[in-house]
Amino acid sequence: MKAINSAQHIVVAGLGMTGQACVRFLSAQQVKVSAWDTREHLNVPDSVNVPVTLGEPPAAFWSDVDLLILSPGINPQLPAVQYAAQAGVEIIGDVELFARLNDVPAFGITGSNGKTTVTLLLTHILKENGKAVVEAGNVGTPVLDTLSMSLDAIVLELSSFQLETTSSLKLQAGAILNISDDHLDRHGDMQRYLDAKQRIFQHCDTAIVWRGQAETRPTTPVRDIVLYGLDVAEVGFGFTNNWITFDGKPVVNMQHVQLVGSHNVLNIQAALAMAKVAGVEPAQAADAVYRFTSAPHRCVEIAKHRGIRWIDDSKATNVGATLAAIEGLGPGCTGNLILIAGGDAKGADLSPLSTAFSEHVSFVIALGRDGERLAALSPASACVKTMSEAVALAYEKAAAGDIVLLSPACASLDMFDNYIHRAAVFAEAVKEVTADA
């Protein structure tokens, strides 16, 4: 690990998990560090043993500060952050600090959907092939905690919030898996959102690129590009006869894979492409792919009762994720697909769901702040007030061969603590209606 400048006064903004990890790391480096959180009445964790300022910082707060490390949840456009910039304070995120200190090969994954699946799958493939590796960033270990580990590689899941404060991250391989409307309440418009995502390629050797979406291509020069997609391909990764291929040769039989849906074919291809850059050939990686199980709340079957499959895709917090789930499951469904969706759409355009609803979804059950907007996209729909009502209605309508899919296309915070809480309420409601099994 490279050394940190101990003469700096560093302020950590935000005392969530990321901020606490930053304070812990910097305290161990014996630099002058303090913390600031926008919440005026925060109960400061006992583990934070540095000076803390809550709420609006005083006017002279930034006068002796050299570096401000923003947690991803803090908007750089906040007035206090802008005052810091005007005072000459350098503003970065924890990923940027990591980038300046790290000397281990790193792989970066971003996109609107599929990031966690690809991150965990790539980590799994590399571990199964004898490499010391850890997942970090938006999932797994805080990035700064990896600097003290003895590793062959680090696999980073990177959000747009993390990338917008990152400028010097060196990657052996990077990918923007896909782009759809998300976080527009933070970024303002799609171009700013895409610009944040594109920062992953600024110092990247090899770009892993989906042939199906031009926005995933790097707009800055990279040394090499590996392509993947659902079409037949003689070069790069393709898909034919239910096999993932590489350079035209079959390498992974999707019949033996536990991940379901065409969107997961793309996720697996992206992970295989990155593993190849890390020195694991696709044929070597296949066995690890077969043994991999999905992360929770990402198109996972939680129950099967009376021939009805209940699928938890609560992590689908934007339109693109729900489209991927519908288009991945719909064509293979022998009966009807009943969708439970809704929540806070975060300012996103929901209309792209209309075609998928008409082609694949027999009935939409909508709830939450933007439930009525979703219901309006399908003539076969109903609005309910609670998840229990949604599950009860789905149970009433479903028959053998049908799939009931929770894939909200929206954030959960209007009704639940987070998407995990939403999934737990869904699972409990399913358990109740299927109790006669």
What are the tens digits of pLDDT across the range 372-430?
999 999 999 999 999 999 999 999 999 999 999 999 999 999 999 999 999 999 999 99
Find out whether 262 and 271 touch, Cβ atoms under 8 Å: no
DSSP letter string, 336-373:
-EEEEE-SB-TT---TTHHHHHHHH-SEEEE-STTHHH
Q: Which H/E stretch holds residue 69?
A: strand 67-70
pLDDT recorded at residue 112: 87
Neighbours of 379 (CB within 10 A): 10
Average pLDDT over residues 125-138: 97
DSSP state of 326: H
Average pLDDT over residues 18-33: 93
pLDDT recorded at residue 188: 58
pLDDT above 70 for 185: no
Residue 183 confidence class, pLDDT cut points 50, 70, 90: low
In sequence order, which residues have a C-beta less than 8 Å from that of residue 47 and are 6 or more positions away?
20, 23, 24
pLDDT recorded at residue 21: 94
Residue 4 confidence class, pLDDT cut points 50, 70, 90: confident
Percent share of the chain, pLDDT over 90: 83
Neighbours of 386 (CB within 10 A): 13
Which among 102, 115, 305, 346 is annotated as catalytic? 115
Is residue 263 annotated as a catalytic residue, yes or no? no
Q: Average pLDDT, whole number, for the chain?
A: 93
Is residue 131 annotated as a catalytic residue, yes or no? no
Residue 30 confidence class, pLDDT cut points 50, 70, 90: confident
d(CA 285, CA 266): 15
pLDDT recorded at residue 295: 78
Neighbours of 2 (CB within 10 A): 8
Residue 191 confidence class, pLDDT cut points 50, 70, 90: confident
Q: Which long-range contacts (CB under 8 A, 24 or more apart) does 216-225 make?
A: 216/111, 216/175, 216/176, 216/177, 216/178, 216/179
Q: ∠46-102-131 over CA atoms, to 5°?
A: 100
Which among 102, 113, 183, 197 is annotated as catalytic? 183
DSSP letter string, 89-155:
-EEEEHHHHHHHH--S-EEEEESSSSHHHHHHHHHHHHHHTT--EEEEESSSB-GGGGGGS--SEEE
**pLDDT tens figures, 240-285:** 999 999 999 999 999 999 888 888 999 999 999 999 999 999 999 9
d(CA 39, CA 14): 9
The angle that helices 353-360 and 319-329 make with each other, rounded to 10 degrees, is 20
What predicted TM-score, i.e. pTM, was given to this entire model? 0.82
**pLDDT tens figures, 255-264:** 999 888 888 9
Average pLDDT over residues 132-149: 95
Find out whether 270 and 210 touch, Cβ atoms under 8 Å: yes
**pLDDT tens figures, 210-248:** 999 999 999 999 999 999 999 999 999 999 999 999 999
Is residue 129 annotated as a catalytic residue, yes or no? no
Which among 113, 138, 267, 336 is annotated as catalytic? 138
| Domains with residue ranges and CATH for the chain | 9-93 (3.40.50.720), 102-291 (3.40.1190.10), 300-433 (3.90.190.20)
pLDDT recorded at residue 6: 80
Residue 367 confidence class, pLDDT cut points 50, 70, 90: very high
Q: Distances in Å between the alpha carbon of 1 and those of 40, 102, 203?
A: 36, 6, 19
What sign results for the dihedral spanned by CA atoms 237, 239, 245, 247?
negative
Q: Where are the beta strands (DSSP E) in 222-347?
A: 224-228, 237-240, 243-246, 249-253, 300-305, 308-312, 337-341
d(CA 328, CA 322): 10
DSSP state of 429: H
pLDDT recorded at residue 346: 86
